[in-house]
Structure 1
């Protein structure tokens, strides 16, 4: 089974980065960084979800269902 492809929204441009959020609702934001060090342009891309960086070798899969799931802590009710 293959996952859906991301549909990146309009870019939000900042001085040293560009952010695009997936329009499918998976909650992933693609952050393209661009800096110049020692006369050389450096570019790299990070992926983020819920304020946490996703460590990956390639673009993480787009799965809107996973992003929409809410974890509810289990509670036990004891009656005496």
Structure 2
């Protein structure tokens, strides 16, 4: 992977990039007025290995389902090293 140079132009473009699936899930949660219910539900959602709680708004449920699998470029060895570093 090529080195990234953090130019003002690159940062400006990145400031306008979002997470369409995540943004839609949050927007729906607020449109339905369920932000407090979702907050309480997710407080008990402690680990990534747990099942996604029932009763979430549809787009938030979809978000969890679609993001449950690591993307092909994810490097598990680097993730493990990062986890060890943060655990020190």
Q: TM-score range by the shorter chain?
A: under 0.3
* Larger strand fraction of residues: 1
* Larger helix fraction of residues: 2
Q: TM-score normalised to the size of structure 2?
A: 0.19
